[in-house]
Chain A
Amino acid sequence: MALADDLLEQAKFLSIREVGRGRPRQASLRRAVSTAYYAVFHLLGVEAASQASPIRPRGLQDRIQRALTHETMRQAANAFRSTSLPDYVASFVHQPIPSEIVDIAKNFVLLQEARHKADYDLAEQFDRTTVQGLVNNAEQVFRLWDRVRNTDDARVFLASLMFWKLWSK
């Protein structure tokens, strides 16, 4: 099983941990949110790296994946979620952008924002409903990605996640 799938499974486990034992611990809920985001991050990261790099030499794809940054991926996803792509990207994708890609982008942005709160904002209190919702968002990304991963639009999306800042050159 791939790392992304394992992370999703762990996020789900943490989101429903401590059921029937009073209020769930904030640590479990926060880790669930963070893990749900990283499940999606690695799902898309592996796909972006495999698109950008040959399989050999061994380890090269892993190294390429390290080039992905949360910030760049967020910027690209934000543009897809608001369907406001610059011309040099828009010319490569179908219009309107397939709803699956837009929904993946929306969920990515939402999960990254939630992950930031879960990892750093101690003033934020999470409840199980919020967290189950976010894990469900991550699951939806996996399902949607399965549907579109072999399309040209998905390839442009992956390239955007990796090269967003460089594409405007």
Chain B
Amino acid sequence: MRVAATHGLSPITRMYYTSHMARTATNRPIQLQPGPRIAAQGHYGPLEIVQVDLATRGTTFRATSPEGPIGPETFLPFSMISPLSKEDNHLFWQMLTQKLIEELRDEGKLPKFYKTFSITTGEDSTGDPAIYVKLFVDAPKGAARDSTVARWNEFARLVQDRLLQLRLPRQPYVFLGAA
């Protein structure tokens, strides 16, 4: 179990860790969810992402220890980091997509019918690295009206466009799904 020690961290980092903390019945933060572990060009030791930034297309990370994050925050573009394991890879893309959804919410572009998302990473049918995002929407039993499907797709296209604009090292594919 890792003990959260957010004092001494930058406000952004603290916000990230706070959002990932569990709390006991006494409301005392006791645990934090570690960020994805990565290898980064020119950096050594155990590294952990604390934040992704879509505007600058990069990640903020820092060295980590069993007690939590240590050392200064460092920024590198997405292209210069690589998640260590399959789980870290999934966590990284999950984090990036979550950030995108949060930005859309802040911009007031998250429609009411949207419920949640899931991601899968792998290779697409051409062998290129891919990220599949499924946007779950509040769908009726049976078939939805054309106009409803068109609205869902408008949102799916918005998410895909944002992912394409990031020029990620994975081809993005965005599909709909029933919540």
- Which residues of chain B are near A103, meaning CB under 8 Å? 157
- Which residues of chain A are near B60, meaning CB under 8 Å? none
Cα–Cα, bound, A143→B139 (Å): 25
B55 touches A (CB below 8 Å): no
Name B177's contact: one of A106, A113, A129 (CB within 8 Å). A129
**A136-B153 in contact given A112-B125, A113-B173, A129-B178 (Cβ < 8 Å):** yes
Name B149's contact: one of A71, A127, A132 (CB within 8 Å). A132
Stretch of B26-34, B65-73, B75-83, B140-148 on the interface side: B140-148
B173 touching A130 by the CB < 8 A rule?
A: no
Cα–Cα, bound, A133→B156 (Å): 9
| Residues of A contacting B: mostly | helix
Query: In which size bucket is the chain B interface?
Result: 20 to 34
B146 touching A136 by the CB < 8 A rule?
A: yes
B150 touching A127 by the CB < 8 A rule?
A: no
A153 to chain B, nearest CB (A): 19
| Residues of B contacting A: mostly | mixed
B175 to chain A, nearest CB (A): 5
A-to-B contact residues, CB < 8 Å: 15-16, 19-20, 71, 74, 78, 81-82, 103, 106, 109-110, 112-114, 116-117, 127-130, 132-134, 136-137, 140
A129 touching B153 by the CB < 8 A rule?
A: no
- Which residues of chain B are near A130, meaning CB under 8 Å? 134, 175-178
B178 touching A133 by the CB < 8 A rule?
A: no
B153 touching A114 by the CB < 8 A rule?
A: no
- Which residues of chain B are near A82, meaning CB under 8 Å? 164, 167
B143 touching A132 by the CB < 8 A rule?
A: yes
- Which residues of chain B are near A15, meaning CB under 8 Å? 143
B104 touches A (CB below 8 Å): no
Within 8 A of A (CB), among B146-165: 146, 149-150, 152-153, 156-157, 160, 164
Within 8 A of A (CB), among B108-156: 124-126, 130, 134, 137, 139, 142-144, 146, 149-150, 152-153, 156
B178 touching A127 by the CB < 8 A rule?
A: yes
Name A74's contact: one of B126, B142, B144, B152 (CB within 8 Å). B126
Closest to A83 in B: B164
